[in-house]
């Protein structure tokens, strides 16, 4: 019996191939010394997937799940004001507070966070565009008012100009420094030296625009005289309890003159 079986296995079977060969359907018939049946002699196959190291959290490790994250119920609303739950006339502080509150409530749900941030940016951008449009309209209205004003008003406004904010801020700082210097030294001596510096500075600034030293000098001196006269008239009207005891009448008048010198050298053409 054993000899017959050995002879049978030694003979090449017409339905089997030798070890290391593959059948016509791409499946090994003999692999590692184990005889495999051809497809029509094999039974139905079954397969199963095995996850190594798997458990209850194996599927959760493959991707983030929003199952336990709160979802913002209004995140699909297109109106940014309704989405954030604010009125259309709400202030920027109220809009920012609503945005921060909703972000904290629904943190972790990416679509909700994106919807809240997008609505906030839309409202802020719209507010910025409205403010910019209002400024443009204000300039247009002022220009229209000037054009519709009487001829003498146009002639008077022709002597003035509005420089850049950089020039205004620098000259304001300079005359504020002169005023502080005068106040700091008022107990020792009067503001005559500071007034002289202010006058020469005003003439220098005016000559830079007018390109005429005589005209700049005349204008600067006239501005100083006008400021001193106005100061002499206004200072006595100020209640005494509002004036520090160490401030003299001359010092207060010079402070008014500094204001006139600043306005003259900055806004006069």
Q: Show pLDDT as tens, one digit a residue, over the chain (269 residues).
A: 444 444 444 455 444 444 444 455 444 444 444 444 454 444 444 444 334 344 444 444 445 455 567 888 887 888 889 888 888 888 888 889 999 999 888 888 888 888 899 889 999 888 888 777 666 566 677 667 766 777 777 777 778 888 888 899 999 999 999 999 999 988 778 888 999 999 999 999 999 988 899 999 999 999 999 999 999 999 888 888 888 888 888 999 999 999 999 999 999 88
End-to-end Cα distance, the chain: 129
Give the whole-angstrom CA distance, residue 52 versus residue 34: 28
Give the whole-angstrom CA distance, residue 206 versus residue 200: 10
Give the whole-angstrom CA distance, residue 125 versus residue 234: 47
């Amino acid at each position: 019996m054993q000899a017959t079986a050995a002879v049978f296995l030694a003979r090449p079977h017409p339905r089997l191939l030798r070890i290391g060969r593959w059948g016509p359907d791409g499946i090994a018939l003999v692999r590692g010394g184990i005889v495999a049946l051809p497809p029509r002699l094999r039974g139905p196959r079954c397969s199963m997937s095995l996850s190594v190291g798997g458990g209850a959290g194996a599927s959760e490790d493959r991707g983030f799940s929003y199952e336990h994250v709160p979802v913002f119920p209004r995140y699909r609303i297109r109106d940014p004001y309704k989405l954030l739950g604010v009125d259309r006339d709400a202030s920027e502080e109220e809009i920012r507070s609503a945005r921060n509150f909703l972000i904290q409530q629904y943190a972790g749900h990416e679509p909700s966070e994106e919807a809240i941030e997008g609505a906030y940016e839309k409202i802020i951008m719209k507010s910025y565009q409205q403010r910019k449009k209002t400024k443009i309209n204000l300039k247009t209205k002022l220009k229209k008012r000037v054009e519709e004003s009487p001829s003498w008003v146009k002639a008077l406004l022709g002597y003035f100009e509005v420089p850049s904010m950089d020039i205004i801020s620098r000259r304001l700082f300079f005359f504020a420094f002169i005023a502080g210097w005068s106040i700091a030294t008022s107990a020792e001596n009067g503001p005559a030296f500071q007034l002289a510096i202010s006058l020469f500075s005003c003439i220098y600034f005016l000559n830079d625009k007018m390109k005429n030293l005589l005209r700049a000098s005349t204008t600067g001196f006239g501005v100083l005289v006008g400021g001193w006269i106005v100061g002499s008239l206004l200072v006595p009207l100020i209640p005494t309890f509002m004036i520090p005891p160490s401030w003299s009448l001359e010092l207060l008048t010079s402070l008014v003159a500094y204001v006139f010198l600043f306005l003259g050298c900055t806004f006069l053409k």
